[in-house]
Structure 1
Amino acid sequence: MSDEKTDELRALLAGRPETLQVVDSLLAVWPEHAAYLLKSFSPRTTAMLDATEAAASAARKLIAGQEATFAGDYRWTCDRLRDEELFFHREGHYRLSTFAEANAEVYSNHDYMGRYVNGLLLTQLLWYNHVATFEMFLNSVLPNADKPFDYLEVGPGHGLMVYFAAQSPLCRTLEAWDVSAVSLRETRAALKTLGLTKPVSLVETDILQTKRPDRRFDLIVISEVLEHLEAPDVALRFLRDCITDDGRIFINVPLNSPSPDHIYLLSTPEEVTALVEGAGFKVEQLSLFATQAKRIESALTNRISVSAGVIARPN
């Protein structure tokens, strides 16, 4: 059966060579995953497949020569996530609730973090909901800039969004913040590998503790960060003070998404809106994307992971 699913998947990805290369390297390690991937890729629109191909092109530069390692780490990460899902659906809450717990179990364990971060990179193009929010960033956030902008990203990870923001001819300056100096070194190395030549200021800072910077930004991105914080409301209020009066913020936060280092649970889109608007923003767009493109109503009812993409402006 996996051979049949693999053939269907390859046919679906004809004309998407970068994506197909990543998929083939993964299936060489985990052929049984073809059925899941087919469900993830089949519902994607042309725009989503284009975004997938863009992400795959960048990811292939980052994993070059280590394809089997990244594939194995992706499978390992999926196993860790499955364990968290079992706990979540049994107990009704995330297993961890404090940063100290996440730091002890995940962030301070360098071997664990290495595998986990590798696995998460591949989710950016293999998981439907992750690609959908990335496509939203590429096609609904960046193109709507109507004048030169200063860009800030909080928690840049592998730097994919920083890299694509830099491609905008209107992007004037780029800055990225992270609480971890180690993470920022990895971001810098990734951006170098991707071939980014535009300067990026990488700043070690904790937005829950620091003072507001002297400058403000026209476009702020905080993607898959709020669920890692004990006080996401404090973080968003801080960013409200960092944005220009006519600026925009793009927030990507998951609902009902148990992971080894997720500590703040959001369950409904109404909770997301309340969190964002309570911090002084006005939501202009809220788009929901469930894993494997499941119906949103069903996903919310059954507490299946949903990504919420939010575009907002200062209120």
Structure 2
Amino acid sequence: MSKLWLNSDKNESVFIKLFQIINNKYPNYASQWLNSLKDFGKDWEDEISNNISKVFGPEYNDRWEEAATGYAEFCTEALRAQVFFEKHGYYKASSYSDIVKECYHDADYMKVRYLPGQYLSHYIWPHHQKMLRHFVRELIPKIICEVSIFYEVGVGCGMYSQRSLQMMPKAYGVGYDISDYALEFTFNVIKKHNLQERYEIKNQDIISSPIEKKADFIISQEVLEHLEDPQNFINGLYNATRPGGWGYITAAINAGHTDHIFLYRNPEEVRTQIEKAGWSIYDEQIESNYMEKPIELRPTIVGYLARR
């Protein structure tokens, strides 16, 4: 066991309590939690503890066990997909319609594994946490005065909608997704943080059914790699944003997962598609995991703040 854990005087925090479940049941993933605690510190521990308390409960309950299991299965799934990618050089999934059926419309997959695991990964996976921190601390302050309404397209677990509402107390948000389970999970997250009066959810494919009312700010967080034609989707984001409005668009690069389809090899490929849609890029952030791997095999996230 790590000395950080043995010598800790913080064993009353919700984070530490949930970590104990991870350590006991899924020890292979315990070091991730301790490394993030060491890297990000007390403020991070307080923040994740607060979020766990609100979303999964403030004291031990069945949802803590489910969250721990969901996180472990989410990690295992990602590792298996990454091994496949590194061996073959491409992602296993290729059909969006199959992914929708097998993943996004599967209640057990989404509610038990995918969404709880994804929510926790925003804090435990270092590249996810660094992206979120940059979004909250650097990007939102730049645009807050210009945003009355924002959209998140592809809400997933709702983390970016939650943080946007918290950082922009005068803004109203709308979350779009094609999975009822993602929308349900997201709205529960929003409600648990008492933000529901400024947020609504819509099951809508913005390509087949474009958004009519333009947003001041649009968020698309790691959606592109889940699509067969991300360029068409980026065009849709552009068209759903008012002239002069802002977009925050991220994508996973060389990162295997069960539902990843479109393989980006480098940040330039993402940037080119965003600019092709008409966006002007103002900020670029690149974060990677498994830094010991060659760059072409290193799971990476790239994020762009762009203006229409």
Q: Which runs of 5+ in 2 are unaligned?
A: none
CA distance in 2 between counterparts of 1:229 and 1:120 reads 18
**2:301 matched to which residue of 1?**
307
The aligned runs of 1:58-69 (5 Å cut-off) are 58-64=51-57, 65=61, 66-69=63-66
Change (3 A) 1:138 1:309: same
CA distance in 1 between counterparts of 2:180 and 2:88 reads 34
Change (3 A) 1:168 1:105: closer
Aligned residue type for 1:84: A
Instruction: For residue 13 of structure 1, report the CA deviation from its aligned partner.
Output: 9.3
From 104, 123, 135, the counterpart of 2:133: 135
CA distance in 2 between counterparts of 1:51 and 1:249 reads 26
Change (3 A) 1:233 1:10: farther
**1:155 matched to which residue of 2?**
154
Give TM-score, length-normalised by structure 2. 0.88
Change (3 A) 1:52 1:165: farther
What is the number of residues matched between the two proteins? 302
Of 159-168 and 93-102, deviating more is 159-168
Aligned sequence identity (%) = 23
Q: Which runs of 5+ in 1 are unaligned?
A: none
| Structure 1 contact 129–289 (Cα < 8 Å) conserved | yes
Structure 1 residue 57 corresponds to structure 2 residue 50: yes
CA distance in 2 between counterparts of 1:156 and 1:125 reads 17
Aligned residue type for 2:22: L
| Structure 1 contact 145–170 (Cα < 8 Å) conserved | no
Change (3 A) 1:26 1:230: same
**1:187 matched to which residue of 2?**
186
The aligned runs of 1:99-248 (5 Å cut-off) are 99-114=96-111, 115-149=113-147, 150-169=149-168, 171-213=170-212, 215-248=213-246
CA distance in 2 between counterparts of 1:57 and 1:299 reads 36
CA distance in 1 between counterparts of 2:184 and 2:136 reads 25
Give TM-score, length-normalised by structure 1. 0.86
Aligned residue type for 1:205: Q
Give CA deviations for 1:175-211 in whole Å, capped at 9, x if unaligned.
Answer: 1111223332232222222322432121221022113
RMSD in angstroms over aligned alpha carbons? 2.5
| Structure 2 contact 93–261 (Cα < 8 Å) conserved | yes
Give CA deviations for 1:203-236 in whole Å, capped at 9, x if unaligned.
Answer: 22102211341x2111111112111111111111
Change (3 A) 1:28 1:312: same
